[in-house]
A and B are shown apart, each in its own frame.
Chain A
């Protein structure tokens, strides 16, 4: 036997000895991760399951309702409040998202591709606002809203989030990858700067825009502290603020509370399930670059 043969045979030996436990190991690993994953979605599963149960079955720990009903949904939606809150949240999250997409990308683009006096100062100033927590600003924002009559209005809920330093920084990072030659070429073709940004640069950073849109929309859909402070009347509540008050009011009617919680959660879950791959990629991009 030559040395190579020995090595080859020991390798086959090795493999036959190792493969089986390895496969076993992979199966155990898969099973454990699967069990963990199922436990992770249990709270969501129980929320949905309980929202489909009759009151007398709520304290039963079975996950599948014995006689599923949509009675809770008709009851909760009947008085119209969840409907308003839902519409309010949609409007606020949508407008804020559009505003962030436009302004964050415009500012990010300008800071990335233009050379002008004051550029560095503007960049550092915007970046430094990342260090200021929202909680520090809510009191001044409240006073400002009070004196300007913005309390209890869509504008009042939205104005603090219309632009974000996070989004600006994210977009700036992505515009770095747009070649200056493209912009120069467009300039020579006679496009003005606004057109260049809109027709040349923006289409090249679509993935970043999508990632930003997901973050901003989700953030505004679930935002609680500021909407809680700035709204007074029930019709102006967003879904989280409404749900919080509804939970107190429904007291021990847990099937109704779970229904409200499900109404506020299902839309984002559905969107996630449809665009899963895309959203996860976006979250990674925003998380790592932002």
Chain B
């Protein structure tokens, strides 16, 4: 205690700071950085969890490149991204743009759109899975049948299953994006719009020349946020296809599901770790793209 009271104010601050940080620094070291290193290390090993870990160099990565399932999964993952991100961006912008212009029961409408964000992906995956069943079970096919349209095989078809699984993921995320867009719209100074009004500019010009350019940081944020979400899609796929995860014929399997399968059903830890490294690199690229896009502002 005497030692402490002899310290200068500045030195005391240093002691306090490190006292506060000691546990968190340990946590980040042991629970974040060390496992990250381990993941890289395991990706160069062959290990079935029971036997010995043997170094095999780049074999896992080479195997990955020659694995047709991996390429199928790779394409699927980007399909989720390339359909999901633009679709949710445009839809949420249109909703936010119009909702922003309404005062009557504004809060109520906003609540309707936001509610799905508060649900759990697992629960909603099961609800949508029920919607997609064939007649006489599924809601969608029952509705189609009632107006005389032939049935659609949603989850049983290799072409329809991926968009069908993606739909609830887009649906659940819309509310969040709408809210973020509305905050972005509110932040645009009213004076720009007034100036445009005085100049007699049409709404399309206002939208494309004022609103959208000024929303750029918001748009970048939403694109990156939802891209990362779609690249990591798992809960919806797993729960909508539990009888054959990622099926039919791997047509819905995303990278995270392949990782889960390889590691915890196949116990091929090295191969799974190599897949996680690929996922890491993809996400890193997306994050770097965000930094780059925001810097040029």
Contact = CB atoms under 8 A, between A and B. Distances in A.
Interface string B115-152: 11111111110111111010011010011001000000
A41 B277 CA distance: 38
Interface in A136-166: 136-144, 159-160, 162-163, 165
Contact of A46 (B101, B139, B175): B139
Contact of B38 (A143, A268, A277): A143
Nearest to B16: A193
A122 interface: yes
Interface stretch (B66-74, B78-86, B231-239): B231-239
A43 B120 contact: no
B121 to A, nearest CB: 6
A76 B88 CA distance: 35
B223 interface: no
A287 B120 contact: no
A66 interface: no
Interface in B85-113: 95, 98-99, 101-102, 104-105, 107, 109-113
Majority secondary structure, B binding face: helix
Q: How large is the interface on A (under 10, 10 to 19, 20 to 34, 35 or more residues)?
A: 35 or more
Given A117-B14, A258-B130, A288-B180, A268 B118 contact: yes
Interface in A247-272: 247-248, 252, 254, 257-258, 260-262, 264-265, 268-269, 271-272
Interface class of chain A by DSSP: helix
A200 to B, nearest CB: 14
B36 A44 contact: no
A129 interface: yes
A264 B120 contact: yes
B180 A287 contact: yes
Interface in A92-106: 103, 106
B284 A131 contact: yes
Nearest to B259: A135
A243 B230 CA distance: 23
A107 B139 contact: no
B65 to A, nearest CB: 19
Contacts of A59: 136-137, 142
Contacts of B175: 40
A83 B89 CA distance: 38
B114 A248 contact: no
- Across chains A and B, which 5 residue pairs bring their CB atoms closest together, nearest first? A37-B112, A140-B35, A261-B123, A222-B120, A140-B38
5 contacts: A138-B259, A244-B239, A247-B242, A261-B127, A272-B114
Interface of B: 10, 13-14, 16-18, 20-21, 23-25, 27-28, 31-36, 38-39, 42, 95, 98-99, 101-102, 104-105, 107, 109-124, 126-131, 133, 136-137, 139, 142-143, 146, 168, 171, 174-176, 179-180, 183, 221, 225, 232, 234-235, 238-239, 242-243, 256, 259-260, 263-264, 269, 272-273, 276-277, 279-280, 283-284, 287
Given A287-B183, A288-B221, 14 more contacts: A33-B109, A36-B95, A37-B113, A107-B24, A114-B13, A129-B33, A139-B39, A159-B31, A240-B123, A254-B137, A265-B120, A276-B107, A288-B180, A288-B183
